[in-house]
Chain A
């Protein structure tokens, strides 16, 4: 492929947002080059471990000891990482990043077409004006240049396409969307809901809103409840780039997908104030190449897109591209995560389940809601996800003493029902929670990203409240063996990543405007988590998708008008 081959648009990254950018831009008639650093994974045939029974896995799926320690030192800490999914995750040894002493950070990344859309948690919630107005109201961070009304139609647009099962609840802090029928709660969840809502009438327990189909949608089939989604789903029951956006983009005839293509930096014309090229490294050969297009969408994930901009240095902008504000790489946010409590729920012995439902309960934010005067010692709020299941033989075998026929008979019955309340807390935007380029480079000569991200007093106070409320709600639900989990996970563990190129009205204090367009380069759009001005406490992917679709529509209008 020669440099002279012209594309209308280049999209960097084929994950949740890149797939959406490719779909929207190609459907509007643009010739799109989609660049993906990872290797190709085809829908269906690429899911080599789907429905694989344990006895067909090497070592029954036990982790590959030496390989994990050597190559997946970080990734192997991700939930769901294992034999059946490891081929999607990035090799840490080959792709290092820097964690300064005392600042551990889990940067969980995939290295495949489709990105983390293959392995994501699939929970999708709308932000509300409680979120979009938060920065302005309490003075942390920069005011969002948009409000809920700006994004609401795009939420609907996205939800109708990806398919979201969930229940309308009529809550201001968690706006309802376009829902397929909700998944069913199990018997313990129903009791938990009833008991918690009785004790706390202002709180709501609902089934998770997930991008998993309960009814067929186009060519995609409904969930068959096999369980381990992250291995890949041949019927396309959950949203991934492979199941959804890439087929739509391919169908237009306007898409060129190029895997194994790591974007190193962008080329910028200082006079014209335009991005003029995308510098790519072929990860198989190390060969470098440049591609050009009229518009560029960075969708490589919050930190990877920020890394590309930081590394797009020149004499005119030594601190990185689109960084005249000096805010590039700053105001990094990740959800405060890992605090909560576990317990068992007595009274349900003999109750069991059929099918593996890929969903949890959700308990929307109930702290510091709009119109309330806060009596709390922290600002913003948190929500809960809750897993509830009977403890399986694999986890209680060692609590059954002895051996022989009696032991075997005892293991035949499931253990007690387990319940896990897990908080997801909003993290405030702090200027010095940042990523910067390290002098050390990777195998391609690209400077490594260094993470300087820590939680602060507001997050810790919120964490103390999460802990108290987890325990109190489990007590109210009649749980036993309540085990508080006071320690937050290492930053990054939630894989809810925000900031680095935040949106704002003022080019002097933000990287992007209200259309995800770089203040300094009107033909550059950044629509992944990097754009976020605050983090809300809800899972972010739906918002990233809606912002991407909205920005793509705007970019095409601007192109047609000759404005960019």
Chain B
């Protein structure tokens, strides 16, 4: 089987794509705006697109509104409330202080962005996790900040990272 045949088979085999159900956000407009600011502060646009370019705020909104447990959601909403109450010109400072408050938190061993999260992790940890997850699994993040190569075709376990400069998508 040559590579062309392989790619043809793979194209034919691609199945239907499922998407999450759209649903109502539990965030009001102001909270959505703050969330977008925070996500962009965590992963800003640099030489590659940033969190907003990658649609991260909408992703976080969806997870918080539809996927989070009530415990997680209340921790998250309280964090947003604290930021909203602070001076809008001091978002970086607010985020830094939230990070300091979360500094003593020790995530469970084996913590990844995937898998079962710790419900009681602090707001800053939740926000950072969802931003990272949303960005690096988005099409924008996967194809700019990361390298996306679904059919590598061979294996080489001794490559200089410098020749690539990016990590592979997971």
Identify the stretch in A276-284, A400-408, A538-546 within 8 Å (CB) of chain B at 4 or more residues: A400-408
A61 an interface residue at 8 Å Cβ cutoff?
Answer: yes
Taking CB atoms and an 8 Å cut-off, the chain B residues in 120-154 that contact chain A are: 125, 128-129, 132-134, 136-139, 142, 145-146, 148, 150-154
In the complex, the answer to whether A216 meets B150 with C-beta atoms within 8 Å is no
A375 an interface residue at 8 Å Cβ cutoff?
Answer: no
B117 → chain A closest CB, angstroms: 9
In the complex, the answer to whether A59 meets B42 with C-beta atoms within 8 Å is no
CB closest chain-A residue, reference B5: A221
In the complex, the answer to whether A48 meets B150 with C-beta atoms within 8 Å is no
Known: A53-B139, A60-B59, A394-B112. A351 touches B14 (CB 8 A): no
Neighbouring B residues of A235 by C-beta, 8 Å: 1, 6, 9-10
B32-52 near A? 1/0 per residue, CB < 8 Å: 000000000111101010000
Interface size on A, residues (CB 8 A): 64
Taking CB atoms and an 8 Å cut-off, the chain A residues in 52-69 that contact chain B are: 52-63, 65
A196-221 near B? 1/0 per residue, CB < 8 Å: 00000000000000000000100011
A371 an interface residue at 8 Å Cβ cutoff?
Answer: no
In the complex, the answer to whether A398 meets B129 with C-beta atoms within 8 Å is yes
Given the complex of chains A and B, what is the CA–CA distance between A190 and B156 in angstroms?
Answer: 13
Taking CB atoms and an 8 Å cut-off, the chain B residues in 1-60 that contact chain A are: 1, 5-6, 9-10, 12-20, 41-44, 46, 48, 59
A562 an interface residue at 8 Å Cβ cutoff?
Answer: no
B106 → chain A closest CB, angstroms: 10
In the complex, the answer to whether B113 meets A397 with C-beta atoms within 8 Å is yes
Neighbouring A residues of B115 by C-beta, 8 Å: 63
B84 an interface residue at 8 Å Cβ cutoff?
Answer: no
Taking CB atoms and an 8 Å cut-off, the chain A residues in 360-414 that contact chain B are: 392-395, 397-398, 401-405, 407-409, 411-414
A393 → chain B closest CB, angstroms: 6
In the complex, the answer to whether A397 meets B132 with C-beta atoms within 8 Å is yes
Specify which of B16, B48, B114 is in contact with A62 (CB 8 Å cutoff): B114
In the complex, the answer to whether B161 meets A184 with C-beta atoms within 8 Å is no
Specify which of A221, A392, A402 is in contact with B167 (CB 8 Å cutoff): A392
CB closest chain-B residue, reference A216: B1
In the complex, the answer to whether B44 meets A353 with C-beta atoms within 8 Å is no
Specify which of A62, A185, A352, A401 is in contact with B67 (CB 8 Å cutoff): A62
In the complex, the answer to whether B158 meets A351 with C-beta atoms within 8 Å is yes
In the complex, the answer to whether B159 meets A354 with C-beta atoms within 8 Å is yes
In the complex, the answer to whether B13 meets A221 with C-beta atoms within 8 Å is no
Given the complex of chains A and B, what is the CA–CA distance between A492 and B166 in angstroms?
Answer: 39
B169 an interface residue at 8 Å Cβ cutoff?
Answer: yes
B67-99 near A? 1/0 per residue, CB < 8 Å: 101000000000000000000000000010001
Given the complex of chains A and B, what is the CA–CA distance between A293 and B123 in angstroms?
Answer: 64
Known: A44-B12, A225-B152. A403 touches B142 (CB 8 A): no
A470 → chain B closest CB, angstroms: 17
CB closest chain-A residue, reference B103: A401
Neighbouring B residues of A412 by C-beta, 8 Å: 145, 165-167
A289 an interface residue at 8 Å Cβ cutoff?
Answer: no
Specify which of A59, A186, A352, A404 is in contact with B164 (CB 8 Å cutoff): A352
Taking CB atoms and an 8 Å cut-off, the chain A residues in 36-58 that contact chain B are: 44-45, 47-58
Taking CB atoms and an 8 Å cut-off, the chain A residues in 246-285 that contact chain B are: none
B104 an interface residue at 8 Å Cβ cutoff?
Answer: no
In the complex, the answer to whether B159 meets A395 with C-beta atoms within 8 Å is no
B109 → chain A closest CB, angstroms: 8
Interface of A, secondary structure class, is loop
A159-179 near B? 1/0 per residue, CB < 8 Å: 000000000000000000000
In the complex, the answer to whether B128 meets A398 with C-beta atoms within 8 Å is yes
In the complex, the answer to whether B148 meets A53 with C-beta atoms within 8 Å is yes
Given the complex of chains A and B, what is the CA–CA distance between A350 and B129 in angstroms?
Answer: 26
A324 an interface residue at 8 Å Cβ cutoff?
Answer: no
Given the complex of chains A and B, what is the CA–CA distance between A68 and B110 in angstroms?
Answer: 20
Neighbouring A residues of B160 by C-beta, 8 Å: 350-352
Neighbouring B residues of A393 by C-beta, 8 Å: 132, 136, 146, 167
Given the complex of chains A and B, what is the CA–CA distance between A355 and B154 in angstroms?
Answer: 6
Specify which of A58, A60, A186, A350 is in contact with B134 (CB 8 Å cutoff): A60
Neighbouring B residues of A559 by C-beta, 8 Å: none
A505 an interface residue at 8 Å Cβ cutoff?
Answer: no
A12 → chain B closest CB, angstroms: 29
Given the complex of chains A and B, what is the CA–CA distance between A185 and B155 in angstroms?
Answer: 9
In the complex, the answer to whether A50 meets B14 with C-beta atoms within 8 Å is yes
Specify which of A50, A59, A60, A184 is in contact with B13 (CB 8 Å cutoff): A50
B111 an interface residue at 8 Å Cβ cutoff?
Answer: yes
Neighbouring B residues of A61 by C-beta, 8 Å: 114, 137
In the complex, the answer to whether A58 meets B14 with C-beta atoms within 8 Å is no
A87 → chain B closest CB, angstroms: 10
A76 → chain B closest CB, angstroms: 9
In the complex, the answer to whether A353 meets B156 with C-beta atoms within 8 Å is yes
Known: A350-B161, A392-B170, A403-B41. A226 touches B150 (CB 8 A): yes
Neighbouring A residues of B133 by C-beta, 8 Å: 60, 62, 394
A187 an interface residue at 8 Å Cβ cutoff?
Answer: yes
Specify which of A54, A184, A350, A408 is in contact with B170 (CB 8 Å cutoff): A54
In the complex, the answer to whether B142 meets A45 with C-beta atoms within 8 Å is no
Neighbouring B residues of A49 by C-beta, 8 Å: 15
A234 an interface residue at 8 Å Cβ cutoff?
Answer: yes
B59 → chain A closest CB, angstroms: 7
In the complex, the answer to whether B157 meets A189 with C-beta atoms within 8 Å is yes
CB closest chain-A residue, reference B133: A60
A337-367 near B? 1/0 per residue, CB < 8 Å: 0000000000000111111110000000000
4 closest A-B pairs by CB: A186-B157, A48-B15, A221-B1, A355-B155
Q: What are 20 A-B pairs with beta-carbon distances under 8 A?
A: A45-B13, A51-B10, A56-B17, A56-B18, A59-B63, A60-B134, A183-B155, A188-B157, A221-B1, A221-B6, A234-B10, A235-B9, A352-B159, A357-B155, A393-B167, A394-B112, A394-B133, A403-B41, A408-B44, A413-B161
Residues of A within 8 A of B (CB): 44-45, 47-63, 65, 82, 183-190, 216, 220-222, 224-226, 234-235, 350-357, 392-395, 397-398, 401-405, 407-409, 411-414
